[in-house]
Amino acid sequence: MKVLMFGWEFPPHISGGLGTACYGLTKGLSHISGTDIVFVVPKSFGDEDQNSVRLIGASEVEISEKLVNVEGFFKKIKLIEVGSNIVPYTDPEEYMKIVTAYAGKQVELINTQVKGKLKFTGKYGADLFQEIANYALVAIQIALENNFDVIHAHDWLTYPAGIAAHDISGKPLVVHVHATDFDRSGGNVNPSVYQIEKNGFEAADRIIAVSNLTRNTVIEKYGIAPEKVVTVYNAVEPISDEERLIAKRGINDKIVTFLGRITLQKGPEYFIEAAHRVLQRMDNVRFVMAGSGDMMRRMIRRAARLGITDKFHFTGFLRGDDVYQMFALSDVYVMPSISEPFGISPLEAMQSNVPVIISYQSGVSEILKHAIKVNFWDIDAMADAIYGLLNYPALSEFIRKYGKEEVDNLKWENSAIQVRQVYESVVSK
Amino acid sequence: MKTICFYFQVHQPLRLRRYRFFDIGNDHYYYDDYTNESILRKIADRSYLPANKIMQGLIKEYGSRFKVAFSISGMALDQFELYAPEVIESFQKLAKTDSVEFLAETYSHSLVSLANPQEFKSQVDAHTQKIYDLFGRKPSVFRNTELIYSDEIGAQVGQLGFKAMITEGAKHVLGWKSPNYLYCNAINPRLKILLRNFKLSDDIAFRFSDQGWSEYPLTTERYVSWLNQMDPKEDNINVFMDYETFGEHQKAESGIFDFLKALPRTIFSRSRFHFATPSEVAERFQPVAAMNVPYPISWADEERDITAWLGNELQQSTFKRLYNLVDDVYRTNDKDILRDWKNLQTGDHFYYMSTKMFSDGAVHSYFNPYDGPYDAFINFNNVISDFALRVEKANTALYGDTEVDKLKINLAEKEALIKEYESLLNKSSLKPKLKVMATKKATTKGTKAPAKTTAKKTTAKKTVKAAAPKKTTAKKAAPKATAAKKTAAKKTTAKKVTAKKTTAKKTTARKTVAKKVVKKAAPKKAVKKAAKPAANGAK
């Protein structure tokens, strides 16, 4: 079975969970014999791991004259103006830059052709909507040039491309929901994004959601028929030896870590409040908020107001090895997300033998047994769980041991088998 | 004559409230009154009261031909007194008839039989007393929490004076043997063992309303036909279950009460079985063999072992933590602490921490107030943390810090000794002429001296050890030593005696010094005089 897959990013050029998930899934699918994947990204850099997929950069695709005629078909998408700055997966620092740079700038309309090829950044910049539309144009060309049985589009950025390829080829479309705008925005949905998502869901033959939480959002908030939506949980890549660092500890205190974008969706303020409660009763503990985001300054101010800055640290954005280093240093990992479609980072923490506390409002809580689960707003419960893990060695040892075992059994191969079943169900239809 | 023995378990734990870590040391109330009251009321109304009413009716109808036994945990009795006294009254009514027997168990429905024999005895005694106070009967048959049994536990129960004990007819223990006979304990054969027939018990307790069961719906006729299939040589069938089976586990709508009402009549009319209480069974039949149960069994889960309570590290470490407190708890002699101690031991607190519920869901999560085993662990351990603090505080208030006290006494003794030396030294310096007179004595005492010094060595060592952990004593020791030095400076010979004390911390150094003293003791009488009381004093 040949799969034409549209993504937005691919390792190592990633800024969020989407690229990691796409990579893991394609790798898992490559273990199933008879599954060939052509993976399209807006821009390929040439250093991606292409063992399991053939990677096509949209910017490398030459657009024929014919395409210009079809162009009218996409007017709707083409004319979407970048009226909002809410964009997904933005490298948080970059996002801040966009917000500042964007003020007062004129909105530009799409510039279709640059010497036969379209320019893509593959980032999540201010021209995002233009890029999405361009990407859809290129998708038509790719759909015409390649032979495939099913189209698989990851997240809203690629839905227009998926729909375009679907319309031109008549092949079934599967869209994969890694997050919806309800998760990203905390309720203040961007209508343009919502429209693209809804179009994608409606055009799709099958929708894959990364958790039941997300599945419910798709069904309830977008009015999609439940039988069309399937839950396939994510997994995690086994940790490699060079990533398994033995970090040097500079201090004797226990370390409790929050790691992720410091945005509304991730619930950083609940972490600070819980930290404050724990610090009232314990001295030999430090809290680390690793990452950056639009709420970071507010969080620093809050920590200062609570008077816990001597025990509460901010690291800024962490990349690559630093992330593993941070895990290696941690005694407890907390993910208090308000709305997390899946949440792969607790799994990474568990791989590094760190006990985790996760919110019930995360997709990953649906599958994890050996994690302490609390409601994101229940700071008392969160504080209690942190205290328990730090003070009762029997508990942390137990969770560490069985959590590792559990996470090692979450394999992309299993997710891939389910995805493959979804393909089969739409192809045979 | 064949008999059938019915026994019902009545127990409700005292559930703990949400106890956060910031309550530790601040708030010493551990119980969720609302949940406890509402659950108890609910079960009393749905199960205990209507079931007791039926029992009363059956006894009225059949007199002493109908018999039944109850085991009511102290936790349940306490809560009945608080929230549903009419349940106690209805049991008291039953107790006035000849048809009802009450069994003994641990007051707290605890796992103490696996931890501490002394505490086990005290809980059994407390429960026996409570049963006597309420129902005017002294139980003669014992049933342990969740039918936990092993050879050793049986032997202990025998020692406590019970004539029989009830446990599970676990397949892995019985093998080819039948539970429908009387057995005896492997260590103490005088203790009879009654085994639960789990098939016939669970047909009612678990499967009664299971519509997927091939025998559904279960009628009394069919049930009695199974009884009749029993081997003609077998003596007795034990049907043991939770009393909540009637009306709670099996809802009233399932017809369980009608089944209960009709069962005795069907048994009388369609079979040759007679009802018997556990103590009657134990008297009437001869044990056929000894039961060998080296490892504890219970009636829980498929495995019939104790892993539901002590299966994982969370449970084991908490269990250890709790029972490490036992001696300190009794030392407090504090009414509130002893009450909480009783309540905290209930087996259910450990049951909630079972990770078996990940696979064996339904049973383990029944009335479980927690979100999961981790939640249960944190909450219970927070409570134990507070409890341990209270115990420690109470003991400190009562006895002071005992370690420090001992050292203080030690110090006072040393102080007195030094004064004695000083006075002696002063005397000897005043009367140097006595030397000549005592030459002969000195030689005889010189031989005795080594024995005394060795005794001194050992005692000295002890004081060193005791002094080491506490800095306060070290501080106090210092001025004492300097005081001794001052006096010692007066005489060169005396110096060595006191030097011995100051260097006492280093045993090797002390030995050499001590030897020197002994050697020199013979020629110099003054030293000899000083050395002798020193040896005595050190004793």
The pLDDT value given to residue B363 = 52
Q: Which residue has the tokens 């994101």?
A: A376
B280 is catalytic: no
Contacts of B466 (CB under 8 A, 6+ apart): B406, B407, B410, B473
- Report the pLDDT averaged over residues B442-460: 47
Architecture of domain A2-235+412-427: 3-Layer(aba) Sandwich (3.40)
Contact at 8 Å (CB) between A324 and A352? Answer: yes
Binning chain A into helix, strand and coil, the percentages to the nearest 5 are 45, 15, 40
- B229 token code pair: 């299939």
Same fold, A2-235+412-427 and A254-408: yes
Helix, strand or coil, per DSSP, at residue B222? helix
Phi, psi (degrees; rounded to nearest 5) at B191: -90, 115
Residues 6+ apart with CB under 8 A from B156: B113, B117, B120, B121
Q: Could you tell me which residues come within 8 angstroms of residue A235 by beta carbon, excluding any fewer than 6 positions away?
A: A24, A28, A347, A410, A411, A412, A413, A414, A415
CA separation for the pair B130, B149 (Å, rounded) = 23
Same domain, B127 and B269: yes
**B448, B454, B458, B461: CA torsion to nearest 10:** 120
Q: Do B377 and A369 touch (CB under 8 A)?
A: no
Q: Are residues B271 and B358 in the same domain?
A: no
Residue for token digits 């001597």? A310
For helices A191-203 and A155-169, give the axis angle rounded to 10 degrees. 40
Residues B416 and B487 in one domain: yes
Token digits of residue B20 = 């956060």
Alpha carbon A71 to chain centroid, angstroms: 31
Per the domain annotation, does B53 fall within a domain? Answer: yes
Q: Which of B381, B400, B419 is the last residue of a domain?
A: B400
Selecting from B20, B22, B381 the residue whose C-beta is nearest the C-beta of A392 gives B381
Q: Tell whether B129 is covered by a domain.
A: yes
Q: Are B324 and B391 found together in one domain?
A: yes
Beta bridge partners of B70: B8, B102
* Burial zone of B431 (CB within 10 Å; 0-12 exposed, 13-18 middle, 19+ buried): exposed
Mean pLDDT confidence for B109-118: 93
| Same domain assignment for residues B230 and B217 | yes
Which of B22, B314, B372 faces A280 most closely, judged by CB atoms? B22
Q: Where are the domains of chain A?
A: 2-235+412-427, 254-408
Are residues B371 and B471 located together in one domain of the fold?
A: no
> Which two three-digit tokens encode residue B301?
């889960």
B79 HSE (CA, 13 A, CB side):
28
d(CA B473, CA B480): 11
In contact, B379 and B16? CB cutoff 8 Å: yes
Residue of A277, A278, A398 lying closest to B312 (CB–CB): A398
Q: How many residues does chain B have?
A: 539
Q: Which residues of A touch B21 (CB under 8 A)?
A: 278, 281, 383-384, 387-388, 391
What's the token pair of residue A323?
A: 């992330």
CA distance readout (Å), A350 to A90, A220, B435: 26, 32, 83
Comparing B535 with B139, the larger pLDDT belongs to B139
B22 to A281: CB separation less than 8 angstroms, yes or no: yes
Among B20, B21, B310, which would you mutate to test the A interface (most chain A Cβ atoms within 10 Å of its Cβ)? B21
Q: Which domain holds residue B233?
A: 3-11+30-305
Which residues touch B318 (CB under 8 Å, ≥6 apart)? A394, B350, B353, B377, B380, B381, B384
Chain-centroid distance of CA A356 in Å reads 19
Same domain? For B283 and B182 the reply is yes
Same domain flag for B376 and B437: no
Q: Do B200 and B213 share a structural domain?
A: yes
DSSP SS3 for B265: helix
Choose the CATH number for A254-408 among 1.10.510.10, 3.40.50.10540, 3.40.50.2000, 3.30.710.10: 3.40.50.2000
- Nearest-CA neighbor of B48 among B15, B23, B16, B80? B80
Domain stops at, among B365, B400, B435:
B400
Per the domain annotation, does B19 fall within a domain?
no
Which residue type, as a one-letter code, is found at position A210? V
Question: What's the rounded Cα separation, in Å, for the pair A328 and A325?
Answer: 5
Confidence (pLDDT) at A90 = 44
What distance in Å separates the CA atoms of residue B443 and residue B54, rounded to the nearest whole number?
Answer: 95
Pair (B361, B259) in one structural domain: no
Active site residue: B146, B244, B248, B280, which one? B146
Using alpha carbons only, give the angle A87, A91, A96 rounded to the nearest 5 degrees: 75
Is residue A367 less than 8 Å (CB to CB) from chain B? no
Q: Is residue B16 part of a domain?
A: no
Mean pLDDT of B282-295: 93
Q: Touching check for A356 and chain B: CB below 8 Å?
A: no
CA distance B115 to chain A (A): 19
B20 vs A384, A391, A402: nearest CB: A384
Measure in Å the smallest separation between the Cα of B317 and chain A Cα atoms: 6
Residue B213: inside a domain: yes
Kindly state the percentage of chain B with pLDDT values over 90. Answer: 60
pLDDT in tens, B403-437: 777 788 888 889 999 999 988 888 776 655 555 55
Q: Which of B344, B373, B400 is at the close of a domain?
A: B400
Q: Are B274 and B321 in the same domain? A: no
B499 and B369, same structural domain? no
Residue B341: inside a domain: yes
- The Cα A426–Cα A417 span in angstroms is 15
Residues in B touching A274 (Cβ below 8 Å): none
pLDDT tens string, chain A, 429 residues long: the values are 889 999 888 877 766 678 888 888 988 888 888 888 888 888 777 777 777 777 787 777 665 433 433 343 333 332 223 333 334 444 445 544 444 443 333 333 333 433 456 666 666 655 677 778 878 888 888 888 888 999 999 999 899 999 999 988 899 999 999 999 888 777 788 888 899 999 999 999 999 999 999 999 999 999 999 999 999 999 988 876 655 656 677 778 899 999 988 988 899 999 999 999 999 998 899 999 998 888 999 999 999 999 998 999 999 888 777 888 888 889 999 999 998 999 888 998 999 899 999 999 999 999 999 999 999 999 999 999 999 999 999 999 999 999 999 999 999 999 999 999 999 999 876
Total domains in chain B come to 3
Q: In this model, does residue B440 exceed pLDDT 80?
A: no
Q: Which of A357, A370, A395, A397 to mutate to test the interface with B (most CBs of B within 10 A)?
A: A395
